A and B are shown apart, each in its own frame.
Chain A
Amino acid sequence: MTIFNKGLITVSAFALMASLANAQDNVTIAIQLEPPNLDPTGAAAQAIDSVMYSNVFEGLTRFMSDGAVVPGLAKSWDISADGLSYTFNLQTDVTFHDGTTMDAEDVKFSLDRARAEDSTNAQKGLFANIAAVDVIDATTVKVTLSQPTGNFLFNMAWGDAVIVAPESAETNATAPVGTGAYRFLDWVQGDRLELTRNADYWGNAPAIQNATFRFISDPTAAFAAVMAEDVDAFAGFPAPENIPQFEADPRFQVLKGNTEGETILSTNNKMHPFDNKLVRKAVAHAIDRQAIIDGAMFGLGTPIGTHFAPHNPNYVDLTSNSQYDPELSKKLLAEAGFADGFTTTLKLPPPSYARRGGEIIAAQLREVGIDAQISNLEWAQWLEEVFRGKDFGLSIVSHTEPMDIGIYANPDYYFQYDNPAFQALMDDLNKATDPDARAALMAQAQTIVSEDYVNGYLFELAYPTIAKADLQGMWENQPTAAVDLTGLSWTN
């Protein structure tokens, strides 16, 4: 009788555990924007990487949550002494989700495709220095560069540099085929996208069996979906004003991570009067960063004084160059010949950091006599008018590409900063491979753009994630846009 009872208890305990394990194998994660398609090599939309990066597609190297670049499909590499050739040793026994093998030919195909003349890769610049890609044997591939590229391994970790197969490259937009730990299952456009664990994965099997991504753009709807526990986590939660409510609720955990997004008051350096450095300096001193972070982002965001991510080990804190000082600002304006101020445009794209931040900045500029006339633009309009047409005085935008201080070396870039000294410096940085030399050059670059007051430097965009308390392994930071499922697990 006792034995029978024990047996019964054990059986029911097993059944219970099995059903629990079953329920805790799946995860539903919401993000704000839906990917337009699923090919990370064909469009800039971050939402594509959010869903696909490291889950479905992998590159030679990859980012970790803290920004470190670690081996991906390349398990190791040798760099020639002159820094011009990289020999990658690939993982063995890697297959794509359609069953074809991933080998050196696929690496060659992917890199050649990205740098080809008719390439539509949104980050084609990452591949600009590649001179040749040669297959040595099935698991060895040699990349020859036209000039030393200190950032090469970093560049290869981007979502735009993932390895794809010639058989499926053209259809990845709708039926993505990668080498990752998850394979694509289904996409109900406008609603959800489902991934399931890849049984043939070459690396360690992840804990989560099935993952569903949901796309909830409205901040109020996002709040409701998390509160009603319709979703297990919301990565990049769009309503910072509601975060204290989640912090007070034991059902949830709140991660306040960083992105690579330097939010700046973009300034048209070729437009009168911003072609005068004194005016740009006056604008910088008229701005109270903390008031913008508190008012527009409900306190989320780290002040920056230059175009660099504060969590980067090479960051230099230059916020003191542009302390809030309206009196100094007025003096500088008078010195520049604008004692009575002037009128300019402030063109704002849709994100709330720009729309809310824009109102505050316009008010702050009014204090020193600058009348910034706000116009609200859609993204497509902004790209046309501001980015391509360069028809703006001021704008606010977050530059989310990692390590993108190089944009200041391009005089045609929309804020039109043209400084040969800086361009030469970037050239040196690209060629430098020694970490110390690179750090010194990066510090110098940050100082130049800060002291030239090229743009108003506001804050590093934060990345709040709300998750159920027992869900472990969500990325806190976003060194690249990604919701990496491979490290996720439930604690109970």
Chain B
Amino acid sequence: MLRYALSRCASLLISLIVASMIIFLTIEIVPGDPAAFMLGLNAQPEAVEALRVQLGLNASAPERYLTWVSGMLQGDFGTSYTYRTPVSDLITDRIWVSLPLAIYALVLSTLIAFPAGIFAASRRGGAGDTAIMGATQLGVAIPNFWFAMILVLIFAINLRWFSAGGFVGWDKGFWPGLKSLTLPAIALALPQAAILARVMRSSLLDVLGEDFIRTARAKGLSKRQALWRHAVRNALIPVLTILGLQFSFLLAGGIVIEQVFFLPGLGRLIFQAISARDLIVVEGVVMLLVFSVIIVNFLVDLTYAAVDPRLRQRS
């Protein structure tokens, strides 16, 4: 188990270094000068040049890469060109919106998908199965931003149960904070739940066809007992993989939903930073997202081992 964890750690480190290079290079290639963007159409060339000097944009690319990486190793992500505040402060503020939103959506999605998938698999071909598969088909097909707009129309404009967007802040209390994330979380969760339910169902059906289930049934377990005691656990590995991917998607991919609900999350930060060519912010946020994706995958790998004893013994 330790060896397994160590080898995962090494690949994690390599991934991070490669990612930092790719991020830096990509951003180098993209055209656009942050100083010119900030000073606009009437700016005099010498004012733009003075700002470039002030922002440290005139150093060579390898120099800037090294400053950036060595800064990050010391926990310093640099200072935003446009906001003029430390990038780490910007990220910490935003992560308190994006992370809870991702977790909230993931919890909702799991709470819907697991029962739905298990129910559908246990009643394969029945009316319940058909209904759930139909619903998930719809869930996969509907784009989440469109669904978000429908939610706003019904619950914010007509019923007035929720506000149309924005985030009240955790300082107003846990429940008000959670409430302002509810519509976005639902909009994010339902399409994910649809995918997850389908994976859960098909994975479970595969397992239910295995010999050991027949053996379990033969030794006298009821269908339900065999399902819960043996099948579900064995069906979890593909589901965990999807869940890990979905969490990364929810954390990074909330950009559109954050626009629709004007939430001050990471997605909106990166969106604004890209259009303003606030490269240092883009680099910092993307790096953080890459890091979190890698960490989540690492954790998923470790849970495989927890779920599947064979993985532990083999290494």
Residues in chain A within 8 A of chain B (CB atoms): 34, 36-37, 39, 42-45, 117-125, 173-174, 188-192, 214-218, 220-221, 224-225, 227-228, 230, 350, 378-381, 383-385, 387-388, 397, 399, 401, 404, 407
Q: Is there an interface contact between B43 and A122, defined as CB atoms closer than 8 Å?
A: yes
Q: With A43-B38, A380-B31 in contact, do A122 and B47 touch (Cβ < 8 Å)?
A: yes
Chain B residue contacts of A192, Cβ below 8 A: 166
Select which of B42, B84, B90, B153 is within 8 A of A44 by beta carbon. B42
Q: Is there an interface contact between B84 and A188, defined as CB atoms closer than 8 Å?
A: no
Residue B275 lies at the interface, judged by CB distance under 8 Å to chain A: yes
Chain B residue contacts of A188, Cβ below 8 A: 93, 169, 264
**Residues from 37 to 76 in B contacting A, C-beta threshold 8 Å:** 37-44, 46-47, 50-51, 53-54
Chain A residue contacts of B39, Cβ below 8 A: 43-44, 120, 122
Q: Is there an interface contact between B32 and A189, defined as CB atoms closer than 8 Å?
A: no
Chain B residue contacts of A44, Cβ below 8 A: 38-43
List, sorted by A's number, 17 A–B pairs whose CB atoms are closer than 8 Å: A44-B43, A45-B38, A117-B46, A120-B39, A121-B47, A173-B84, A174-B83, A174-B85, A190-B265, A218-B259, A227-B164, A230-B163, A380-B31, A380-B32, A384-B31, A384-B32, A387-B36
Docked CA distance A383–B274 (Å)? 14
Q: Is there an interface contact between B166 and A404, defined as CB atoms closer than 8 Å?
A: no
Query: What residue in chain B is nearest A384 (Cβ atoms)?
Result: B31
Q: Is there an interface contact between A123 and B152, defined as CB atoms closer than 8 Å?
A: no
Chain B residue contacts of A121, Cβ below 8 A: 47
Chain A residue contacts of B93, Cβ below 8 A: 188-190
Chain B residue contacts of A225, Cβ below 8 A: 163-166, 262
CB-based A-B contact count at 8 angstroms? 161
Query: What residue in chain B is nearest A44 (Cβ atoms)?
Result: B40
Query: What residue in chain A is nearest B264 (Cβ atoms)?
Result: A190
Chain B residue contacts of A119, Cβ below 8 A: 47, 50
The 4 residue pairs across chains A and B that have the minimum distance between CB atoms: A44-B40, A190-B264, A380-B32, A36-B82
Chain A residue contacts of B163, Cβ below 8 A: 225, 228, 230
Q: Is there an interface contact between B37 and A380, defined as CB atoms closer than 8 Å?
A: yes
Residue B272 lies at the interface, judged by CB distance under 8 Å to chain A: yes
Least CB distance from A297 to B in Å reads: 21
Q: Is there an interface contact between B157 and A227, defined as CB atoms closer than 8 Å?
A: yes
Q: Is there an interface contact between B38 and A191, defined as CB atoms closer than 8 Å?
A: no
Q: A123-B42, A190-B93, A227-B164 are in contact. List 16 more A-B contacts (CB 8 A).
A: A36-B82, A118-B54, A122-B39, A124-B44, A124-B46, A190-B265, A221-B165, A224-B149, A228-B164, A379-B37, A380-B36, A380-B37, A384-B36, A387-B41, A388-B33, A399-B41
Q: Is there an interface contact between B275 and A125, defined as CB atoms closer than 8 Å?
A: no
Residue B261 lies at the interface, judged by CB distance under 8 Å to chain A: yes
Q: Is there an interface contact between A118 and B50, defined as CB atoms closer than 8 Å?
A: yes
Chain B residue contacts of A124, Cβ below 8 A: 43-44, 46-47
Residue B286 lies at the interface, judged by CB distance under 8 Å to chain A: no
Residues in chain B within 8 A of chain A (CB atoms): 31-34, 36-44, 46-47, 50-51, 53-54, 82-85, 90, 93-94, 149, 152-153, 156-157, 160, 163-167, 169, 259-265, 268-269, 272, 274-278
Q: Select the residue from A381, A397, A401, A407 with max chain B CB neighbours within 10 A.
A: A381
Select which of B44, B165, B269 is within 8 A of A224 by beta carbon. B165
Chain B residue contacts of A174, Cβ below 8 A: 83-85
Chain B residue contacts of A384, Cβ below 8 A: 31-33, 36
Chain A residue contacts of B41, Cβ below 8 A: 44, 387, 397, 399, 401
Docked CA distance A341–B19 (Å)? 49
Least CB distance from B97 to A in Å reads: 8
Q: Is there an interface contact between A383 and B37, defined as CB atoms closer than 8 Å?
A: yes
Docked CA distance A118–B53 (Å)? 9
Least CB distance from B147 to A in Å reads: 13
Q: Is there an interface contact between B275 and A378, defined as CB atoms closer than 8 Å?
A: yes
Chain B residue contacts of A214, Cβ below 8 A: 166, 262
Chain B residue contacts of A118, Cβ below 8 A: 50, 53-54
Q: Is there an interface contact between B277 and A37, defined as CB atoms closer than 8 Å?
A: no
Docked CA distance A387–B32 (Å)? 11
Chain A residue contacts of B37, Cβ below 8 A: 379-380, 383
Q: Select the residue from A42, A45, A224, A399 with max chain B CB neighbours within 10 A.
A: A224
Docked CA distance A34–B153 (Å)? 25
Chain B residue contacts of A39, Cβ below 8 A: 84
